[in-house]
């Protein structure tokens, strides 16, 4: 009786660790299937990120450097490197109102504009091979590390950025 109980516990535990969702877990097949599934998901995500990166450089003249929480978690610091100043001018246009979208909930966050300093972003003298910033408000520390966001500036839409 004990052997049956231990076998049942081990097989259920194995099913939980290998990601098996049905009750007929065959231990010889699932580790390879689970690892190949994870590898396929990682490959798809890397391919999508690479495609987006190439599009950003070719179409908009920028490369995303980082997305970090800042100011004790109350701001999101988006950093980008300008590759082509003429193409990147669309992102630095002061008439455009950048915002981010939390991909999990659809909540939108804007760039704060304090009266004395104006919008917290670079808009003047954009030059190639320099890093620029846009700070977005994060009231109540709504967005946390690890969450995915979309940055929108005019026609530019940069999706699936993970907050560090």
Flag whether 45 is in a domain: yes
- Whether residues 66 and 13 share a domain: the answer is no
For residue 75, pLDDT beyond 90: yes
Range in 16-20, 97-101, 140-144 with the lowest mean pLDDT: 16-20
The total number of structural domains in the chain stands at 2
Spatial strand order of the sheet with 148-153 comes to 108-110, 99-102, 148-153, 156-162
pLDDT in tens, 114-129: 999 999 999 989 999 9
Task: Categorize the per-residue pLDDT at 55 as very low, low, confident or very high, splitting at 50, 70 and 90.
Answer: confident
Nearest 5°: phi and psi at 42? -65, -40
Supply the range of the domain harboring residue 33.
Answer: 1-17+27-60
pLDDT in tens, 7-52: 434 343 434 334 444 333 434 444 444 444 445 455 555 555 667 7
- Whether residues 39 and 56 share a domain: the answer is yes
What whole-number percentage of the chain has pLDDT above 90?
Answer: 64
Report CA torsion sign: 54, 57, 60, 64: positive
- Whether residues 71 and 83 share a domain: the answer is yes
**Best CA proximity match to 146, nearest among 68, 78, 81:** 68
pLDDT at 59: 92
- Whether residues 156 and 84 share a domain: the answer is yes
pLDDT at 45: 56
Instruction: Specify the pairing of strand 99-102 against strand 108-110.
Output: antiparallel
The CA-CA-CA angle for residues 55, 147, 106, to 5°, reads 80
For residue 104, pLDDT beyond 70: yes
């Amino acid at each position: 009786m004990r052997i049956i109980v231990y076998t049942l516990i081990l097989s259920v535990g194995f099913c939980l660790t290998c990601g098996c969702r049905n009750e007929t877990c065959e231990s010889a097949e699932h580790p390879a299937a689970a690892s190949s599934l994870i590898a396929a998901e990682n490959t798809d995500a890397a391919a999508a990120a690479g495609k987006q990166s190439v599009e950003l450089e070719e179409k908009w003249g920028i490369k995303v450097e980082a997305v970090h929480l800042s100011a004790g978690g109350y701001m999101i610091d988006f950093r980008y490197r300008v590759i082509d100043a003429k193409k990147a001018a669309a992102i630095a246009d002061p008439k455009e109102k950048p915002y981010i979208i939390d991909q999990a909930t659809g909540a939108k966050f804007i760039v704060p504009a304090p009266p004395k300093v104006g919008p917290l972003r670079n808009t003047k003298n954009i030059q190639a091979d320099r890093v620029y910033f846009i700070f977005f408000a994060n009231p109540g520390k709504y967005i946390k590390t690890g969450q995915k966001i979309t940055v929108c500036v005019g026609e530019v839409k940069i999706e699936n950025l993970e907050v560090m």
